[in-house]
Structure 1
Amino acid sequence: MKHIPATHTDFILEREFAATPEAVFRAWADPEVKRAWSDCHAEHTTAYSLDFRPLGREHHEVAYPDGRVQVIDKVFFDITEPRRIVFAYDIGVDGRRLSVSLVTVEFSPVQRGTRMVYTEQLAYLDGHEDRAQRLRGTEEGLDRLAGVL
């Protein structure tokens, strides 16, 4: 088998929300609210759970009409209410792990509400790469978060 080295990238997204840091933080912590803004494939989701605590997990499964099954598993490492969330997650399709990420989300008060900084560091595995799609999907989720708040 040919060795394909992992590739790495990162991105940072900044948003301001007209809500308190506590309210924005709660939108990450409450399972129903989180699913409402973060689930970009809601019509195909077959399983979802959120255990929002240090070393807790979030699990999301999507069964696409073409038969592919995507699984996203997260582990929360640092939760400092209402300032910071640090988690790692992997994405797999049909049992093949595509990427592993480390994410830091920081919340700070500003005059009009909350400034949120989302920093993601990605390791792509075995030749997979979808940076533009990942960035677009994350931006769309944060747009939905603004709508929920």
Structure 2
Amino acid sequence: MALQSDSEQDLTLEITRIFKAPRDRVFKAWSTPEHLSAWWGPKGFSLPEHDFNVVEGGAWRVVMGAPSGSQHIVSGVFEEISPTDRMVFTWGWTIDGTRSHESTVTVTFADVKAGTKVHLHQAMLTSKADRDGHQDGWNGTFENLQDFLDGKPREIRTADTPT
């Protein structure tokens, strides 16, 4: 097994979170389009456009509306879906009409006493700043997911919303 260089490790994001819900319910939140659209995206962002074809080889695309009013387009393809265990999908931003560098996201699901452990691994990020931005985004997204699992409505902020 080859070891990753420091730069490869620096450009990989790992996040583990425990969700207070059974694994089948957490996986369903990730694999059902109407559920995904209820929580996907960083805290405070809206999702004015979304298309999730959650099958192996299926494409996905979202437009995330930031509280500032800017819009961010990201898309990819679901490469692997192992029900209740694992999902792998590609991730690439569209900037000024051009699709940028693509990374790969692997999400695994495991039963733990407190609920479900979700581990996210995002590889092939372009810089430490890119990794840190994705970390902030995924942390907020995971907060949205827990709120969704708790039955709370999605929080959407605008430039005028106090923080």
**Number of residue pairs matched?**
139
* Aligned 8 A contact 1:68 1:93 in 2: no
AA matched with 1:95: G
The equivalent position to 1:120 in structure 2, one of 100, 119, 122, is 122
Q: Confirm whether residue 80 of structure 1 aligns to residue 91 of structure 2.
A: no
Q: Residues 128 and 25 of structure 1: is their aligned pair in 2 closer, same or farther, counting only changes over 3 Å?
A: same
Alignment of 1:1-149 (within 5 A): 9-40=11-42, 41-42=45-46, 45-62=47-64, 70-124=72-126, 129-149=129-149
AA matched with 1:33: H
* Aligned 8 A contact 2:41 2:137 in 1: no
Give the gaps of 5 or more residues in structure 1: 1-6
Deviates more, 1:9-18 or 1:45-54: 45-54
Residue equivalent to 1:3: none
Q: Secondary structure at the residue paired with 2:54?
A: coil
* Aligned 8 A contact 2:89 2:105 in 1: yes
Deviates more, 1:32-41 or 1:110-119: 32-41
Q: Secondary structure at the residue paired with 1:61?
A: strand
Q: Residues 64 and 109 of structure 1: is their aligned pair in 2 closer, same or farther, counting only changes over 3 Å?
A: closer
AA matched with 1:143: E
AA matched with 1:94: D
State how far apart, in whole Å, the 1-side matches of 2:76 and 2:32 are: 15
* TM-superposed deviation, 1:63: 6.7
* Aligned 8 A contact 2:41 2:140 in 1: no
* TM-superposed deviation, 1:61: 2.5
More strand per residue: 1
AA matched with 1:146: Q
* Aligned 8 A contact 1:98 1:128 in 2: no
How big is the alpha-carbon RMSD for the aligned residues of Structure 1 and Structure 2?
Answer: 2.5
* TM-superposed deviation, 1:32: 2.0
Q: Residues 63 and 147 of structure 1: is their aligned pair in 2 closer, same or farther, counting only changes over 3 Å?
A: closer
Give the gaps of 5 or more residues in structure 2: 1-6, 150-163
TM-score by length of 1: 0.81
